[in-house]
Amino acid sequence: MTTASQPIGVFDSGIGGLTVANAIVKKLPNEEIIYFGDTAHLPYGDKSADAIRYYCLRISKFLLDQGCKMIVVACNSASSAGYDVLLEFFRDQALFVNVVDPLVSAVAKRGFDKVGVIATKATVQSGIYHKQLHRVSPTLNVESLATPLLAPMIEEGFVHNQASKAILDMYLAHPGFVDIEALLLACTHYPLIRPEIDDYFQHQVEVFDSTRVVAEEVAFKLAQNGLLNPEKQHPHRFYVSDYTKSFEETTRLFYGEAIQLEQYQIW
């Protein structure tokens, strides 16, 4: 039987999902987080859908074995390629939240005419944002652009400098983004460069990322199922499938504070 005191599992292809984990911790300070970053296989954005689905199944099994009451797929590539198969295999064992549906819902409520989406190759090729946005808003004009240089740039710490500005400006100058009213940051790395994106559009375009809306969805689903933890009993745990010192140093950028990574080889 699932109980409120059980942890929430959060996973990503690397450490970008720590932005989502941090938002959940701030929203729900009584919850225990078990984070898994698949650093052995990052980035997922260049992997096939079948490979991503395999990774998602194996990681979710690991998190379920740790007793997680909910699993948050904190990766857009994994959410687009693997979420349905996770529900197929594990829906009776835990609650599941992805990063796509809450973001789509938040944007759809605003009644925009034209929005842009920046994401990894895998997320753009999946067409999931077009599909989901058109399902709730059939007349919405959606312009998507794969931005594969952004995630590795951010992980290497190239933010808020001339190099990051040049790469970002190149992408945001995409002709399809002319006259957009909103831009969806469909990668959990991208909130870290949100100020630069706001500056590029001179704050005339509404920018949406998944961190806050996913945390709110997690809180809603836990409350709906009577699984909000009244009191935190155990510390958070952070696992990676391949450890390097540089990963641990970069986690402060994504999580907002220093954390200790533990390598766990599940492959």
Range of the domain at 117: 101-210
Among candidate residues 18, 34, 59, 75, the one labeled active-site is 75
Same domain, 216 and 204: no
3 is in an annotated binding site: no
Same domain, 216 and 94: yes
Q: At 216, which amino acid appears?
A: E
Is 226 within the bounds of a domain?
yes
Checking 200-208 for CB contacts under 8 A at 24+ apart, the result is 200/168, 200/169, 200/172, 201/172, 205/116, 205/180, 205/181, 206/110, 206/181, 206/182, 207/182, 207/183, 208/103, 208/106, 208/107, 208/182, 208/183, 208/184
Q: Residue range 118-123: average pLDDT?
A: 92
User: Is-contact 243 263, C-beta < 8 A?
Assistant: yes
Among candidate residues 187, 197, 240, 259, the one labeled active-site is 187
Same domain, 15 and 43: yes
Is 199 within the bounds of a domain?
yes
pLDDT at site 111: 93
Q: Is 75 marked active-site?
A: yes
Same domain, 111 and 140: yes
Q: Is 187 marked active-site?
A: yes
pLDDT at site 250: 85
Q: Please check the confidence at residue 138 and state whether its pLDDT lies above 90.
A: yes
Same domain, 55 and 25: yes
| DSSP secondary structure code for residue 5 in this structure | T
pLDDT, mean over the chain: 94
Same domain, 206 and 105: yes
Going by C-alpha positions, the residue among 5, 8, 119 that lies closest to residue 72 is: 8
92 is in an annotated binding site: no
189 is in an annotated binding site: yes
Is 154 within the bounds of a domain?
yes
179 is in an annotated binding site: no
Task: Domain count for the chain, please give it.
Answer: 2
Same domain, 201 and 116: yes
Q: Please check the confidence at residue 70 and state whether its pLDDT lies above 90.
A: yes
Least confident of 13-17, 90-94, 205-209: 13-17
